[in-house]
Amino acid sequence: NLIYYFYRLTLLTFIIYMDFNKLILKWYDKNKRNLPWRKTKNPYNIWISEIILQQTRMQQGVIYYNKFISRFPNLKSLAKSDEKDVLLLWQGLGYYSRARNLHSTAKYIYNELDSDFPETYENLLKLKGIGDYTASAIASICFEKKHPVLDGNVFRIISRIFEIYNPIDVSESRKIFKKKALDIMPKKRFGDYNQALMDFGSIVCKPVSPLCTSCEISSLCVAFRKNTVTKLPVKSKKIKVKKLFFDYFLIRNNKKYLIERINEGIWKNLYQFPAHTSKTKKNKKTLNKFFSKKFLHDSIEMELINSEFIEHNLSHIKIKSRFWLVSNKINIKDGIFTEMLDQYPMSKLMHKFIEKYGSKLSIS
């Protein structure tokens, strides 16, 4: 029985290997999405699109890609730009390390590699901000190298086709999925094939309510045949979300507000009002003491602007924020006072506050 089972599994795998990529490419030729970066094989454009699409939905990604390419049409323009301008354009996308890495890598390729974009998977991996997925995407799409991409769509498709219950968020499982993904790749059209899987996962083999009944490869799908599609893919654990309290301090001087550059953390190199961060909610007295010490001032008169917390949720952090307006004058030598806050890159949380209270406080 064990030999018979192994024989059937081997035969099934062989059949899938033979037919799967042909059906996927056939589907892609009929149904591929009309996306702006598919009009070129320029590695710069593909790189920008892939970095933007990390943690970003396609509709929003297209908008930002067009804005980004319009502002920085080539590697040189990005390399020669100021990081502040890159971050300003990136506002709203989140995960700002992506923008910082883009800028850093553009400068490296321009200055150290004489603008020659690496063509191999191995050399692409050496670049800051480029991991396995992005390196595979660029190598296959731009240079027709045989490297499978592994994103959420591909994990989902492969887990269902082969009914693989190994958790996709465990490093050991990546080896299993990568081998399967490599084995079922076609003999050519590697870039088209990888993009086909991305499209197929977004349009047909969706996370919720997949279109199994009209799926052209359902005959090869073990999970479909065994009615286990909704159970796959498997994740080992949920992300632990921590709660943080942010209290912002608005110091005004002749219609201008004090802002500071953030030196570390998720919003590194963005700008914000001076802030106090804590794992617990602090009372007014504690905050007054903190800011008095920060600005070397004996007593600070502060008034709460928002009676309810302004909340902002990230993948691993839930932020509850309050904003305090200082009514007495504080002399500060160092720092940026500006009335044009839109000239400085800021987090989405800051924009939420400005959108709700900006007009009352003469903030633009």
Pairing state of beta strands 242-250 and 317-326? parallel
**Nearest Cα residue to 72 out of 50, 56, 48:** 48
Q: Is 50 a catalytic residue?
A: yes
Contact 275, 295 (CB under 8 A): no
CA atoms within 13 A on the CB side of 110: 15
- At 104, the amino acid letter reads S
**Nearest Cα residue to 313 out of 278, 287, 349, 266:** 349
For residue 225, give both structure tokens: 């045949």
Rg (CA), the chain: 25
Q: What's the length of the chain?
A: 364
Contact 168, 155 (CB under 8 A): yes
Q: Where are the beta strands (DSSP E) in the chain?
A: 242-250, 252-253, 256-261, 271-272, 275-278, 302-304, 310-313, 317-326, 336-338
CB neighbours of 119 closer than 8 A, spacing ≥ 6? Answer: 43, 139, 142, 143, 145
Three-state DSSP class for residue 268: coil
Annotated catalytic residue within 50, 260, 264, 339: 50
Taking the C-alpha atoms of residue 350 and residue 96, their distance in angstroms, rounded to an integer, is 14
**Nearest Cα residue to 78 out of 110, 47, 55, 119:** 110
Assess whether the previous peptide bond of 233 is cis (omega < 30° from 0). Answer: yes
Three-state DSSP class for residue 355: helix
Contact 235, 165 (CB under 8 A): no
Taking the C-alpha atoms of residue 343 and residue 88, their distance in angstroms, rounded to an integer, is 8
Which residues does the annotation mark as catalytic?
A: 50
